[in-house]
Every structure is written in structure tokens, then in C-alpha cells.
Amino acid sequence: MQVTPDLTLFPVNWTNAVSCLFNRQNFTHVFKLNLEKLSIFKDPLFSLLSPEEKANANRYSNLHDQHSSIIRWGVTRLLIAKYCGILPESLYFKTGKNGKPQLIAGKAYPALFFNLTYSGNFALIAVSNRETGIDIELLKPGFKFEEVLDFVFSTQEKKEILASQYPLAAFYCYFTRKEAIVKALGTGIHDQLPNISVLGHDYPLPAAMQMERTSLQLISFIVTQQYTASLAFYANTGDLAFYEVDQKWLATEMH
């Protein structure tokens, strides 16, 4: 699917996760998972999960959703353990404000921040030394996005979407931007989405949502032709990189 220039997509270069140095200083790293291809690792990944994570996965009646949960959380544990230099089974997570998962920092490693998102056969995991938010959406042809414009976008944003050469692609791009911001802030206040501007390069927020320090930076990018995503991260991040977790990398890490 083609996209219009007004979407200002970030040119992502996906490299294999083997090239990641897992440096913990001033970074935001995004990892791409093809859930279907990685499903062969569901059993060994399941063994890495906490009792609560196993219970959450088993609650899904649909096997695809169950396997997706196992892979997402299992790989998340593997990745964060690489940054922390400990075994993935040794990590402890808690539920923060508005249900956002958080890593409980240990004496041997500092606090790290992460955020997960998935849609269809793909998942993205963002890991950073500061708060971050990420969202991915499968572009669904025929989706009647016009019916939800008033609930999500400002007047100017609606004009931009409807005037786009590809309105559906513009809708998903702008929607993922708003979701990424909300997830980075951990606010859960989706009823204020129309008030969150996503048209500029710097994104000022309503007074009730101001960050204590620097503002968030926001980029949108293509995962595949059918998937679009957005990432919210601190503007002064030094190391922004994109990696792919493939079968070969995962097989090596599971041994």
C-alpha cells in the first residue's frame, strides 16, 4: 500500500537483533516480531513466564491469541534480560498506573522502561532508559473510519485525513501516533484523544498531561505494507534503532 507524503513516515532500517549491543545509556530500541514465524518457540518461551503471565496466556480461548501472548512476553523477558545481564526468569514486573506493565528494578541493574503492541501477525517491543510508548495497527481495507473521526481527531486532523490521497492510511498513521503518546504517558485517558495534536514535529500536550521534563518526540513508520506504527519517546534520545527478532536469533538465545 502506498502512503502520501503528508504522513511524514520515518525511514526505518530493520537490522537483525544480533547486531544490538544492549547498551543501557540514553537509548530507545524497537524490536519487531513476526508472531507466526516465531510460534515454533512457544513451548520454551512459555517456560520463561511467571505464573501470572502463564495464567494470562491460558485465559485465551483462541490458540492464535494464546500463542501470541506467550511469544510477546517470552521475547520481552529475553530482551530485557539482555540489557540487565541476568536470567529472563529472574525479572519481576508490576502493573503501573492505568495498567501499564513496568519492570521492577533490581540492585544489579537500573530501571528500564518498555512497551508492547501487537496487531495481527506482528508485535513490536520498545525498550528504553526512559518512558516510551508504541502502537501498531493492521490496515483493514473497508474499515469505516469516518464513523470514529469525531471521537479521535481534532477538526484540523480530520481535514488532513479526508484530504489525503489515501485517507485510510492517514487515519491509521494518525491513530497510532495518538495511541503511542497515551501509552508513553501511561494516562489511559483515551477520551482526550482529540486534544492531543499529532500534526507537528514536537507535540505539546494539554496542561493536565504535561511531561515533567522534556517533551515527547513522535515518529510514524511502516512495518510492512499492511502494518503502520508510531513510537513516542524522549526527544533527546541518543541511540534510536530498530531490530528484528527472527528464528535464528531466538534459537541462539534459547540455548
- pLDDT, position 148: 92
- Over 90: is that where the pLDDT of 98 sits? no
Distance separating alpha carbons of residues 12 and 248, to the nearest angstrom:
21
Distance separating alpha carbons of residues 255 and 253, to the nearest angstrom:
6
Q: Which among 224, 227, 181 has a CA at the least distance from the CA of 200?
A: 181
State the DSSP code for 38.
G
Question: Per the confidence metrics, is the pTM higher than 0.85?
Answer: yes
Handedness of CA 183, 231, 121, 15 (dihedral sign): negative
- pLDDT, position 204: 54
Q: List phi, psi (to 5°) of 107.
A: -65, -30
User: Which SS3 state, helix, strand or coil, does residue 87 take?
Assistant: coil
CA angle 7, 8, 10 (to 5 degrees): 120
Across the chain, mean pLDDT equals 87
Assigned C-alpha cell, 30: 524497537
Q: Which amino acid is at 223?
A: V
- Over 70: is that where the pLDDT of 210 sits? no
- Over 60: is that where the pLDDT of 165 sits? yes
- List the single range of 158-167, 171-180, 211-220 with lowest mean pLDDT: 211-220
User: What is the residue extent of each domain of the chain?
Assistant: 5-253
Mean pLDDT of 120-144: 95
Ramachandran sector of residue 70 (left: φ over 0; alpha: ψ -120 to 50; beta: rest) = alpha
Q: In what order do the strands lie in the sheet with 27-34?
A: 15-16, 239-245, 27-34, 122-128, 113-119
- List the single range of 139-143, 176-180, 213-217 with lowest mean pLDDT: 213-217
Only one residue has cell 496466556, namely: 57
- pLDDT, position 244: 98
Q: Which residue has the higher pLDDT, 54 or 24?
A: 54
Architecture of domain 5-253: Alpha-Beta Complex (3.90)
Mean pLDDT of 93-105: 83
Strand boundaries in the chain, DSSP class E: 15-16, 27-34, 93-95, 101-103, 113-119, 122-128, 133-138, 216-224, 227-234, 239-245
